[in-house]
Chain A
Amino acid sequence: MSVKPWIFVVCVALSAQVAADGRQLATGGLMPIEGGAGGGMTPWAVIAGYGAEDEWGATLAMTWLDTGDYRLGVIGAAIGWRNRIEMSVAQQTLELPTLADDLGLAAGTEIRQNIFSAKLRVAGDLVYGNWPQIAVGVQFKSNLTPALPLSVGAVDDSGVDVYLSATRLWLDGPFGRRLVVNGTLRRSSANDAGLLGFGGDRSDSPDWLAEASVGVFLDEDVIVGIEYRQQTDNLSAAASDDWTDVFIGFVPNKQIALAAAWVNLGTVSTIPNQKGLYLSIQGSF
Protein backbone atom coordinates (compact mmCIF):
# COMPACT_ATOMS: atom_id res chain seq x y z
CA MET A 1 0.00 0.00 0.00
CA SER A 2 1.31 3.42 -0.88
CA VAL A 3 1.76 6.08 1.77
CA LYS A 4 0.88 9.02 -0.46
CA PRO A 5 -2.93 8.63 -0.45
CA TRP A 6 -2.80 8.48 3.34
CA ILE A 7 -0.80 11.68 3.54
CA PHE A 8 -3.38 13.28 1.26
CA VAL A 9 -6.19 12.11 3.55
CA VAL A 10 -4.37 13.56 6.56
CA CYS A 11 -3.89 16.89 4.76
CA VAL A 12 -7.57 17.09 3.87
CA ALA A 13 -8.55 16.20 7.43
CA LEU A 14 -6.21 18.88 8.74
CA SER A 15 -7.55 21.60 6.51
CA ALA A 16 -10.85 21.29 8.40
CA GLN A 17 -9.16 21.59 11.78
CA VAL A 18 -8.23 24.64 13.77
CA ALA A 19 -4.61 24.53 14.88
CA ALA A 20 -4.40 22.93 18.31
CA ASP A 21 -2.14 24.70 20.75
CA GLY A 22 -3.19 23.49 24.19
CA ARG A 23 0.30 22.22 25.01
CA GLN A 24 3.52 24.14 25.53
CA LEU A 25 6.08 24.98 22.85
CA ALA A 26 8.26 22.05 21.70
CA THR A 27 6.30 19.45 23.71
CA GLY A 28 5.31 17.70 20.47
CA GLY A 29 8.93 16.79 19.73
CA LEU A 30 10.18 16.26 16.21
CA MET A 31 9.32 13.57 13.69
CA PRO A 32 11.92 10.79 13.80
CA ILE A 33 13.00 8.92 10.66
CA GLU A 34 10.27 6.31 11.20
CA GLY A 35 7.45 8.86 11.64
CA GLY A 36 5.51 9.70 14.80
CA ALA A 37 7.00 12.08 17.37
CA GLY A 38 10.24 12.03 19.31
CA GLY A 39 13.86 12.83 18.61
CA GLY A 40 15.63 12.53 15.27
CA MET A 41 16.13 8.79 15.25
CA THR A 42 14.10 7.43 18.16
CA PRO A 43 10.45 7.67 19.26
CA TRP A 44 9.62 9.47 22.51
CA ALA A 45 6.56 9.12 24.72
CA VAL A 46 5.25 12.50 23.49
CA ILE A 47 2.19 12.66 21.22
CA ALA A 48 2.60 14.44 17.86
CA GLY A 49 1.33 18.01 17.58
CA TYR A 50 0.18 20.39 20.30
CA GLY A 51 -3.29 19.01 21.07
CA ALA A 52 -4.30 18.88 24.73
CA GLU A 53 -6.84 16.50 26.27
CA ASP A 54 -9.78 17.78 24.25
CA GLU A 55 -7.96 18.59 21.00
CA TRP A 56 -6.48 17.11 17.85
CA GLY A 57 -2.96 17.87 16.68
CA ALA A 58 -0.97 16.85 13.65
CA THR A 59 2.43 17.10 12.01
CA LEU A 60 3.92 16.80 8.54
CA ALA A 61 7.67 16.41 8.16
CA MET A 62 10.44 15.90 5.62
CA THR A 63 13.88 14.64 6.54
CA TRP A 64 17.16 14.16 4.68
CA LEU A 65 20.27 12.26 5.78
CA ASP A 66 23.36 12.12 3.57
CA THR A 67 26.53 10.19 4.41
CA GLY A 68 27.89 10.33 0.86
CA ASP A 69 27.52 6.56 0.34
CA TYR A 70 23.90 6.56 1.48
CA ARG A 71 21.17 9.18 1.10
CA LEU A 72 17.95 8.75 3.06
CA GLY A 73 14.83 10.80 2.43
CA VAL A 74 11.75 10.53 4.63
CA ILE A 75 8.30 12.04 4.29
CA GLY A 76 5.79 11.48 7.04
CA ALA A 77 2.55 12.58 8.65
CA ALA A 78 1.17 12.04 12.13
CA ILE A 79 -1.99 12.88 14.00
CA GLY A 80 -2.38 13.07 17.77
CA TRP A 81 -5.76 12.61 19.47
CA ARG A 82 -6.42 14.13 22.89
CA ASN A 83 -2.72 13.91 23.82
CA ARG A 84 -3.42 10.18 24.15
CA ILE A 85 -3.16 8.33 20.82
CA GLU A 86 -0.89 8.97 17.86
CA MET A 87 -1.18 7.49 14.36
CA SER A 88 1.52 8.00 11.76
CA VAL A 89 2.61 7.09 8.26
CA ALA A 90 6.11 7.51 6.82
CA GLN A 91 7.86 6.56 3.62
CA GLN A 92 11.63 6.16 3.51
CA THR A 93 13.68 6.21 0.32
CA LEU A 94 17.32 5.17 0.53
CA GLU A 95 19.74 5.81 -2.32
CA LEU A 96 22.88 3.69 -2.14
CA PRO A 97 25.18 4.49 -5.09
CA THR A 98 28.34 2.96 -3.56
CA LEU A 99 26.69 -0.30 -2.48
CA ALA A 100 24.87 -0.62 -5.81
CA ASP A 101 28.22 -0.25 -7.56
CA ASP A 102 29.87 -2.82 -5.24
CA LEU A 103 27.07 -5.33 -5.83
CA GLY A 104 26.92 -4.70 -9.57
CA LEU A 105 23.37 -3.33 -9.38
CA ALA A 106 21.91 -0.76 -11.73
CA ALA A 107 22.81 2.87 -11.04
CA GLY A 108 19.92 4.61 -9.29
CA THR A 109 18.93 1.50 -7.32
CA GLU A 110 16.85 2.52 -4.28
CA ILE A 111 15.38 0.91 -1.22
CA ARG A 112 11.94 2.07 -0.18
CA GLN A 113 10.05 1.29 3.02
CA ASN A 114 6.60 2.23 4.34
CA ILE A 115 5.97 2.49 8.07
CA PHE A 116 2.53 2.66 9.66
CA SER A 117 2.69 3.27 13.38
CA ALA A 118 0.55 3.86 16.45
CA LYS A 119 1.38 5.06 19.94
CA LEU A 120 -0.61 5.12 23.17
CA ARG A 121 0.29 7.33 26.14
CA VAL A 122 -0.33 5.01 29.06
CA ALA A 123 0.78 7.03 32.11
CA GLY A 124 2.46 10.11 33.45
CA ASP A 125 3.18 13.53 32.04
CA LEU A 126 6.10 15.14 30.25
CA VAL A 127 6.26 18.04 32.73
CA TYR A 128 3.68 17.73 35.52
CA GLY A 129 2.99 15.16 38.22
CA ASN A 130 5.37 12.65 39.72
CA TRP A 131 5.78 10.26 36.81
CA PRO A 132 7.48 10.67 33.43
CA GLN A 133 5.30 10.37 30.36
CA ILE A 134 5.20 6.69 29.39
CA ALA A 135 3.94 5.38 26.06
CA VAL A 136 3.84 2.11 24.15
CA GLY A 137 4.05 1.99 20.39
CA VAL A 138 3.99 -0.31 17.41
CA GLN A 139 5.52 0.17 13.96
CA PHE A 140 4.40 -1.93 10.99
CA LYS A 141 7.23 -1.84 8.47
CA SER A 142 7.02 -3.00 4.91
CA ASN A 143 10.04 -2.97 2.62
CA LEU A 144 8.82 -2.26 -0.92
CA THR A 145 12.11 -3.25 -2.56
CA PRO A 146 12.90 -6.61 -0.95
CA ALA A 147 15.29 -7.93 -3.63
CA LEU A 148 18.35 -6.16 -2.24
CA PRO A 149 17.69 -6.86 1.48
CA LEU A 150 17.01 -10.53 0.71
CA SER A 151 20.18 -10.74 -1.38
CA VAL A 152 22.31 -9.70 1.62
CA GLY A 153 20.69 -12.38 3.78
CA ALA A 154 17.52 -10.85 5.27
CA VAL A 155 14.76 -13.38 5.89
CA ASP A 156 11.66 -11.18 5.67
CA ASP A 157 10.58 -8.08 3.75
CA SER A 158 8.28 -6.86 6.53
CA GLY A 159 8.32 -6.74 10.30
CA VAL A 160 6.72 -5.29 13.39
CA ASP A 161 8.60 -3.27 16.01
CA VAL A 162 7.10 -2.68 19.44
CA TYR A 163 8.53 -0.24 21.97
CA LEU A 164 8.13 1.33 25.39
CA SER A 165 9.26 4.95 25.85
CA ALA A 166 9.59 7.13 28.94
CA THR A 167 10.18 10.88 28.52
CA ARG A 168 10.57 13.63 31.10
CA LEU A 169 11.27 17.35 30.92
CA TRP A 170 12.79 19.05 33.96
CA LEU A 171 12.11 22.78 33.96
CA ASP A 172 15.08 23.57 36.17
CA GLY A 173 17.89 21.37 34.83
CA PRO A 174 21.65 21.97 34.77
CA PHE A 175 22.75 25.62 34.45
CA GLY A 176 19.10 26.64 34.95
CA ARG A 177 18.24 25.13 31.56
CA ARG A 178 15.35 22.81 30.72
CA LEU A 179 16.47 19.21 30.42
CA VAL A 180 14.62 16.54 28.44
CA VAL A 181 15.53 12.86 28.73
CA ASN A 182 14.04 9.93 26.82
CA GLY A 183 14.67 6.21 27.15
CA THR A 184 13.16 3.71 24.71
CA LEU A 185 13.21 -0.08 24.77
CA ARG A 186 12.40 -1.59 21.38
CA ARG A 187 11.77 -5.20 20.37
CA SER A 188 12.68 -5.61 16.73
CA SER A 189 14.24 -7.92 14.16
CA ALA A 190 14.81 -5.08 11.67
CA ASN A 191 18.19 -4.67 9.97
CA ASP A 192 19.13 -0.97 9.87
CA ALA A 193 15.57 -0.08 10.92
CA GLY A 194 14.15 -2.38 8.22
CA LEU A 195 15.84 -0.75 5.23
CA LEU A 196 17.88 -3.98 4.92
CA GLY A 197 14.91 -6.19 5.69
CA PHE A 198 14.17 -8.25 8.79
CA GLY A 199 16.04 -11.14 10.41
CA GLY A 200 19.04 -12.87 8.92
CA ASP A 201 21.38 -15.85 8.95
CA ARG A 202 22.64 -15.08 12.48
CA SER A 203 19.25 -14.57 14.06
CA ASP A 204 15.64 -14.44 12.93
CA SER A 205 14.09 -13.62 16.31
CA PRO A 206 13.48 -10.10 17.67
CA ASP A 207 16.01 -8.48 20.01
CA TRP A 208 15.52 -5.95 22.81
CA LEU A 209 17.25 -2.74 21.74
CA ALA A 210 18.01 0.36 23.81
CA GLU A 211 17.61 3.93 22.58
CA ALA A 212 18.18 7.18 24.43
CA SER A 213 18.05 10.94 23.87
CA VAL A 214 19.22 13.75 26.14
CA GLY A 215 18.60 17.39 25.25
CA VAL A 216 19.02 20.77 26.90
CA PHE A 217 17.05 23.88 25.94
CA LEU A 218 19.54 26.76 25.63
CA ASP A 219 16.63 29.15 25.22
CA GLU A 220 12.89 28.70 25.03
CA ASP A 221 13.14 27.63 21.40
CA VAL A 222 16.62 26.12 20.87
CA ILE A 223 17.53 22.62 22.02
CA VAL A 224 20.86 20.79 21.70
CA GLY A 225 21.48 17.17 22.57
CA ILE A 226 22.72 13.69 21.79
CA GLU A 227 21.05 10.43 20.80
CA TYR A 228 21.91 6.75 20.78
CA ARG A 229 20.15 3.87 19.01
CA GLN A 230 21.21 0.25 19.30
CA GLN A 231 21.04 -1.93 16.18
CA THR A 232 20.43 -5.61 15.58
CA ASP A 233 23.23 -7.79 14.26
CA ASN A 234 21.36 -10.42 12.25
CA LEU A 235 23.36 -10.37 9.00
CA SER A 236 26.85 -11.88 8.80
CA ALA A 237 27.23 -10.33 5.35
CA ALA A 238 26.18 -6.84 6.48
CA ALA A 239 27.25 -6.17 10.08
CA SER A 240 25.57 -3.12 11.57
CA ASP A 241 26.88 -0.68 14.17
CA ASP A 242 24.80 1.27 16.69
CA TRP A 243 23.79 4.80 15.67
CA THR A 244 24.59 8.07 17.44
CA ASP A 245 23.97 11.72 16.68
CA VAL A 246 24.49 15.23 18.01
CA PHE A 247 21.56 17.52 17.24
CA ILE A 248 20.29 21.06 17.39
CA GLY A 249 16.59 21.85 17.12
CA PHE A 250 14.93 25.20 16.56
CA VAL A 251 11.23 25.61 17.42
CA PRO A 252 10.42 29.30 16.80
CA ASN A 253 6.65 28.74 17.16
CA LYS A 254 3.97 26.04 17.27
CA GLN A 255 3.74 25.89 13.48
CA ILE A 256 7.28 24.96 12.52
CA ALA A 257 10.30 23.06 13.82
CA LEU A 258 13.73 22.66 12.25
CA ALA A 259 16.43 20.20 13.22
CA ALA A 260 20.01 19.57 12.12
CA ALA A 261 22.21 16.74 13.32
CA TRP A 262 25.59 15.19 12.76
CA VAL A 263 24.89 11.47 12.52
CA ASN A 264 27.35 8.58 12.94
CA LEU A 265 25.93 5.28 11.65
CA GLY A 266 29.27 3.41 11.79
CA THR A 267 29.40 0.55 9.29
CA VAL A 268 26.25 0.20 7.18
CA SER A 269 26.06 -2.92 5.02
CA THR A 270 29.85 -3.42 4.66
CA ILE A 271 30.65 0.26 4.05
CA PRO A 272 32.45 1.68 7.11
CA ASN A 273 32.58 5.16 8.60
CA GLN A 274 29.12 6.41 7.60
CA LYS A 275 28.85 9.94 9.00
CA GLY A 276 26.82 12.78 7.67
CA LEU A 277 24.41 15.63 7.98
CA TYR A 278 20.74 15.20 8.93
CA LEU A 279 18.21 17.94 8.22
CA SER A 280 14.52 17.91 9.07
CA ILE A 281 11.63 20.32 8.76
CA GLN A 282 8.28 19.81 10.46
CA GLY A 283 5.00 21.65 10.28
CA SER A 284 2.48 21.33 13.11
CA PHE A 285 -1.25 21.91 12.90
Chain B
Amino acid sequence: MRVVCALIVASIVCGCVSVPPASLYDELGEEAGIASILDEMLFLVSRDARTRQYFEGVDLDRLHGQLTAHLCHITGGPCHYTGADMRKAHRGLGINRAHFNVMVESLTDSLQVHSVPIPVQNRLLALLRPFYADVVEAAG
Protein backbone atom coordinates (compact mmCIF):
# COMPACT_ATOMS: atom_id res chain seq x y z
CA MET B 1 0.00 0.00 0.00
CA ARG B 2 2.84 2.41 0.76
CA VAL B 3 4.18 1.85 -2.77
CA VAL B 4 0.75 2.62 -4.24
CA CYS B 5 0.54 5.74 -2.11
CA ALA B 6 4.01 6.86 -3.16
CA LEU B 7 3.03 6.40 -6.82
CA ILE B 8 -0.14 8.42 -6.34
CA VAL B 9 1.74 11.23 -4.60
CA ALA B 10 4.44 11.14 -7.31
CA SER B 11 1.82 11.34 -10.06
CA ILE B 12 0.24 14.36 -8.37
CA VAL B 13 3.54 16.13 -7.87
CA CYS B 14 4.73 15.72 -11.48
CA GLY B 15 2.11 18.27 -12.63
CA CYS B 16 1.63 17.22 -16.23
CA VAL B 17 1.26 19.79 -19.02
CA SER B 18 -1.06 19.00 -21.92
CA VAL B 19 0.08 19.44 -25.50
CA PRO B 20 -2.68 20.76 -27.79
CA PRO B 21 -3.57 18.35 -30.58
CA ALA B 22 -3.40 20.03 -33.98
CA SER B 23 -7.11 19.44 -34.56
CA LEU B 24 -8.40 21.66 -31.72
CA TYR B 25 -8.74 24.57 -34.17
CA ASP B 26 -10.85 22.36 -36.44
CA GLU B 27 -12.92 20.94 -33.60
CA LEU B 28 -13.88 24.44 -32.44
CA GLY B 29 -15.25 25.17 -35.91
CA GLU B 30 -12.19 26.92 -37.34
CA GLU B 31 -11.96 30.71 -37.25
CA ALA B 32 -15.69 31.32 -37.61
CA GLY B 33 -16.49 28.91 -34.77
CA ILE B 34 -13.85 30.45 -32.50
CA ALA B 35 -15.16 33.95 -33.29
CA SER B 36 -18.70 32.91 -32.38
CA ILE B 37 -17.61 31.21 -29.13
CA LEU B 38 -15.63 34.28 -28.06
CA ASP B 39 -18.46 36.63 -29.02
CA GLU B 40 -20.78 34.88 -26.56
CA MET B 41 -18.04 34.70 -23.91
CA LEU B 42 -17.30 38.43 -24.18
CA PHE B 43 -21.02 39.20 -24.04
CA LEU B 44 -21.26 37.33 -20.73
CA VAL B 45 -18.05 38.47 -19.05
CA SER B 46 -18.44 42.15 -20.02
CA ARG B 47 -21.93 42.26 -18.45
CA ASP B 48 -21.21 40.24 -15.30
CA ALA B 49 -21.40 42.44 -12.21
CA ARG B 50 -18.12 40.99 -10.94
CA THR B 51 -16.05 41.77 -14.05
CA ARG B 52 -17.80 44.45 -16.12
CA GLN B 53 -15.62 47.19 -14.54
CA TYR B 54 -12.72 45.89 -16.64
CA PHE B 55 -14.63 46.40 -19.90
CA GLU B 56 -15.83 49.97 -19.40
CA GLY B 57 -14.46 52.10 -22.25
CA VAL B 58 -12.94 49.06 -23.96
CA ASP B 59 -13.44 48.66 -27.73
CA LEU B 60 -15.11 45.23 -27.57
CA ASP B 61 -15.02 44.70 -31.36
CA ARG B 62 -11.27 45.26 -31.43
CA LEU B 63 -10.79 43.06 -28.33
CA HIS B 64 -12.93 40.36 -29.97
CA GLY B 65 -10.75 40.46 -33.07
CA GLN B 66 -7.55 40.17 -31.03
CA LEU B 67 -8.87 37.33 -28.89
CA THR B 68 -10.08 35.45 -31.98
CA ALA B 69 -6.69 35.78 -33.65
CA HIS B 70 -4.92 34.72 -30.45
CA LEU B 71 -7.09 31.65 -29.85
CA CYS B 72 -6.98 30.74 -33.54
CA HIS B 73 -3.18 30.90 -33.38
CA ILE B 74 -2.66 28.87 -30.19
CA THR B 75 -5.14 26.15 -31.18
CA GLY B 76 -3.14 25.49 -34.37
CA GLY B 77 -5.05 27.67 -36.84
CA PRO B 78 -3.54 29.76 -39.67
CA CYS B 79 -3.80 33.09 -37.85
CA HIS B 80 -1.19 35.63 -36.80
CA TYR B 81 -1.60 37.28 -33.41
CA THR B 82 0.02 40.71 -33.22
CA GLY B 83 -1.41 41.99 -29.89
CA ALA B 84 0.33 42.25 -26.53
CA ASP B 85 1.24 39.07 -24.67
CA MET B 86 -1.13 38.01 -21.91
CA ARG B 87 1.10 39.09 -19.05
CA LYS B 88 1.61 42.61 -20.42
CA ALA B 89 -2.05 42.97 -21.37
CA HIS B 90 -3.23 42.27 -17.82
CA ARG B 91 -0.43 43.89 -15.81
CA GLY B 92 -1.60 46.13 -12.98
CA LEU B 93 -5.31 45.41 -13.46
CA GLY B 94 -5.64 43.67 -10.09
CA ILE B 95 -7.36 40.61 -11.54
CA ASN B 96 -7.88 37.90 -8.91
CA ARG B 97 -9.01 34.28 -8.96
CA ALA B 98 -12.67 35.22 -8.67
CA HIS B 99 -12.40 37.47 -11.78
CA PHE B 100 -10.50 34.79 -13.67
CA ASN B 101 -13.14 32.23 -12.83
CA VAL B 102 -15.89 34.49 -14.19
CA MET B 103 -13.98 34.37 -17.48
CA VAL B 104 -13.61 30.57 -17.30
CA GLU B 105 -17.30 30.15 -16.47
CA SER B 106 -18.34 32.55 -19.27
CA LEU B 107 -16.20 30.57 -21.72
CA THR B 108 -17.62 27.28 -20.43
CA ASP B 109 -21.18 28.59 -20.77
CA SER B 110 -20.44 29.72 -24.32
CA LEU B 111 -18.93 26.33 -25.20
CA GLN B 112 -22.11 24.67 -23.88
CA VAL B 113 -24.29 27.04 -25.93
CA HIS B 114 -22.23 26.09 -28.99
CA SER B 115 -22.65 22.36 -28.20
CA VAL B 116 -18.89 21.81 -28.08
CA PRO B 117 -18.25 18.23 -26.84
CA ILE B 118 -16.90 17.87 -23.28
CA PRO B 119 -13.49 16.45 -24.33
CA VAL B 120 -12.95 19.39 -26.70
CA GLN B 121 -14.00 21.83 -23.95
CA ASN B 122 -11.54 20.25 -21.54
CA ARG B 123 -8.70 20.31 -24.09
CA LEU B 124 -9.29 24.01 -24.68
CA LEU B 125 -9.43 24.80 -20.94
CA ALA B 126 -6.23 22.78 -20.38
CA LEU B 127 -4.56 24.75 -23.17
CA LEU B 128 -5.58 28.05 -21.56
CA ARG B 129 -4.70 26.91 -18.01
CA PRO B 130 -1.12 28.34 -18.00
CA PHE B 131 -2.50 31.85 -18.69
CA TYR B 132 -3.75 31.90 -15.09
CA ALA B 133 -0.21 32.72 -13.97
CA ASP B 134 -0.01 35.58 -16.52
CA VAL B 135 -3.40 37.13 -15.81
CA VAL B 136 -3.92 36.84 -12.06
CA GLU B 137 -1.99 39.16 -9.74
CA ALA B 138 0.20 37.34 -7.25
CA ALA B 139 -0.40 33.97 -8.91
CA GLY B 140 2.62 31.76 -8.78
Contacts and interface: CB of A to CB of B under 8 A. Distances in A.
A243 to B, nearest CB: 13
Nearest to B117: A176
Contacts of B117: 176
B114 to A, nearest CB: 14
Interface stretch (A35-43, A49-57, A258-266): A49-57
Nearest to A45: B12
B12 A132 contact: yes
A148 interface: no
Contacts of A219: 118
Contact of A168 (B15, B18, B123): B15
Interface residues of B, number: 34
B125 interface: yes
A181 interface: yes
Nearest to A170: B16
Nearest to A131: B15
Nearest to A23: B101
B8 A212 contact: yes
Given A54-B96, A166-B13, A181-B11, A128 B139 contact: yes
Contacts of B1: 210, 230, 242
A89 to B, nearest CB: 27
A67 B14 CA distance: 38
B-side binding surface: helix, strand, loop or mixed? Answer: helix
Contacts of B18: 170-172
Nearest to A133: B12
A187 interface: no
B57 interface: no
Given A128-B139, A172-B18, A183 B12 contact: yes
A210 B123 CA distance: 32
B97 A129 contact: no
Contacts of A83: 97
Contacts of B122: 171-173, 176-178
A210 B129 contact: no
A176 B118 contact: yes
A68 B132 CA distance: 48
Interface string A153-168: 0000000000000111
A54 B98 contact: yes
14 contacts: A22-B98, A22-B101, A53-B98, A127-B132, A128-B139, A131-B13, A132-B15, A171-B129, A172-B126, A176-B120, A181-B8, A183-B8, A185-B5, A220-B118
Given A129-B133, A130-B15, 7 more contacts: A24-B105, A129-B139, A172-B18, A172-B125, A176-B118, A183-B9, A210-B5
